[in-house]
Amino acid sequence: MNNTMMTVLPLVLLLLVMYFLLIRPQKKKEKEINAMRSGIRVGDEIITIGGICAKVVKTKEESLIIQVGADKVKFEVMRWSVSKVVEKSDAPAAAAEEPEEKKAAKPKRLGKKAAAEEPAPAPAEEEAAEPATEE
């Protein structure tokens, strides 16, 4: 009986070491990731596992509606696809989007008409800005 205990003991020790070095840290990390994904709120800025940087517009049970890019394209992604939360919002979860007063309409580019209306700097002003050198 003593002989069988000596052959089983190294196997048991190996299993314990494997548990504490591999399995336990992996489960702890998985719990942290699940807590991060379930704590996502409207207004948070996230990065998906595909590398998409977006802002959360609406949350659902298993998915999120995110807003991407300057055109503010919205689409739905699954919660498990979130890699990390870049910036947590301070706004309450009930707020859907920014107030209208913060959303000022800005032109994307100036057209020919707007560029023609802008006055060109006077040549006299440009010469006055340069120091005069006498020889």
pLDDT of res. 94: 47
Query: CA geometry: angle at 123 spanning 121 and 126, to 5°?
Result: 80
The answer to whether residue 13 scores a pLDDT higher than 70 is yes
Output the pLDDT for position 117: 58
Contact 44, 87 (CB under 8 A): yes
Mean pLDDT rounded to a whole number for the chain: 79
Q: What percent of the chain stands above pLDDT 70?
A: 66
The residue that leads in pLDDT, 131 or 86, is 86
Q: What is the pLDDT of residue 7?
A: 87
Tell me if 42 sits within 8 A of 91, measured CB to CB: yes
Q: Among 2-6, 42-46, 60-64, 130-134, where is mean pLDDT lowest? A: 130-134
pLDDT in tens, 46-78: 999 999 999 999 999 999 999 999 999 999 999
What's the pTM?
0.56
| Residue keyed to tokens 């959360």 | 56
User: pLDDT category, 123, cuts 50, 70, 90?
Assistant: low
Q: How far apart are CA 44 and CA 54, in angstroms?
A: 8
Residue 81 corresponds to which tokens in the numbers above?
Answer: 């696809």
CA-closest candidate to residue 82, choices 56, 48, 55, 53? 48
Per mean pLDDT, which range of 43-57, 78-92, 120-134 is the poorest? 120-134
Q: Are strands 53-59 and 82-87 parallel, antiparallel or unpaired?
A: unpaired
